[in-house]
Amino acid sequence: MTTNEVAIRVVGVSHRFGEETDIRHVRALRDTSLDIVHGELICLIGPSGCGKSTLLNIMGGLLRPTAGRVEVFGKSVRGPMPRDIAFVFQENALFPWNTVAENVDLGMLFQGVPRAERGTRARRALEAIGLHDFADHYPGQLSGGMRQRAALARALSLETGILLMDEPFGALDEQTRMILGEDLSLLLARANKTIVFVTHSLGEATFLADRVAVFSARPGSIKQLIAVDEPHPRKPEFVTSAKFATIRNALYGLLHDEIRKTMAESAAPGPEPRA
């Protein structure tokens, strides 16, 4: 498989919440196009409400765009594609009434994996993420970081080519977030997955991404794409390097104006869409 093969192609996607005639309608996304290459990790970053999560949900088939289209591995996206795409959500998307092992098993059951295969695949995913000792714990018995590891294990067990992650570490403290980021980078180097990662954190985007897509304020579209030329797995030292600082600062410069614009606009009435 060539590395330049396009995994996800986004063509002219726009999205509006509510009917155009409704005064409360919100334009979340405006004429966005993007090609995501097989095996890369791309971060979507932008001010609140710029439509980056909306774009992620459209890519994953959870939301139909008002205009434009998305292709995954050459197929047009019309709904969820559990064989090709797995999600990791911000938090609390694990079923609290099931143990970690049951959560992982259930994902594969939904996906249609035969029972005989599910056990080995679940064990492999839990071991890859260092959670095998907690397989029989309920999500409520785990820390936030552990819960997100479990959610990641559930997504990995589905063995999809694409992983869509919606601020998966957003609710975690900075230290836990850093460790999980390092683990994810290591995993990426091994698994050759295509990952789209929505985040608010400049540092997280710089540390994880092969490319960062910076969004403009609502209605969002991609303002600029920044490449981070550093091989995976990335070492903790990368964070203190000059290259890291340069890229992070460039992102900060691009984002700063957009965030100002968003804040000025948020004084105006109107419903808050999903970030």
Partner 1 sequence: MRPGAKRRKGYLASRSVQAAFLIVLVALWYLATSRWHVSPILLPSPVAVLFQLWDIVSTGEFVGDLAVTLRELAAAFGIAVTGGILVGYLVSRSHYRIRVFEPLFAGIYAIPIILFLPLYVLFFGLGPASKIALGATISFFPIALNTIAGFGYVDKAFVAAARSMGASDYQLFRYVLLPAALPVILTGMRIGFTVALLSIIGSETIASLAGLGHRIVHLAEGMEMARMFAYIAFVVAIAAVLNAFVSTLEARARRAR
Question: Which of 22, 64, 78, 109 touches partner 1 (CB under 8 A)?
Answer: 109
Q: Are β-strands 162-166 and 85-88 bridged in parallel, bridged antiparallel, or unpaired? A: parallel
**For partner 1, the closer CB: 104 or 214:** 104
Counting Cα atoms < 13 Å in the Cβ hemisphere of 68 gives 21
The reply to whether 87 sits near partner 1 by the rule CB under 8 A is yes
CA 130 to chain centroid, in Å, comes to 21
For the chain, state the CA radius of gyration.
Answer: 19
Residues 127-166 that bind partner 1 (CB under 8 A): 158
Question: Which of 17, 89, 134, 244 touches partner 1 (CB under 8 A)?
Answer: 89
The reply to whether 82 sits near partner 1 by the rule CB under 8 A is yes
- One symbol per residue from 52 to 71: x for binding partner 1 (CB under 8 A), - otherwise; what is it? -----x--xxx---------
**For partner 1, the closer CB: 53 or 221:** 53
From the CB of 118, what's the least distance to partner 1, in Å?
13
Question: Which of 37, 66, 69, 95 touches partner 1 (CB under 8 A)?
Answer: 95
Task: Report angle CA 180, 183, 187 to the nearest 5 degrees.
Answer: 135
The reply to whether 85 sits near partner 1 by the rule CB under 8 A is yes
Q: What angle, rounded to 10 degrees, do the helices at 174-191 and 144-157 form?
A: 20
Beta strands in 125-193 (DSSP E): 162-166
Question: Which of 11, 37, 93, 259 touches partner 1 (CB under 8 A)?
Answer: 93
**For partner 1, the closer CB: 49 or 107:** 107
From the CB of 87, what's the least distance to partner 1, in Å?
4
How far apart (Å, rounded) are the C-alpha atoms in residues 69 and 26? 19
List of residues contacting partner 1 (CB under 8 A) = 57, 60-62, 80, 82-83, 85-87, 89, 92-93, 95, 97-98, 106-107, 109-112, 158
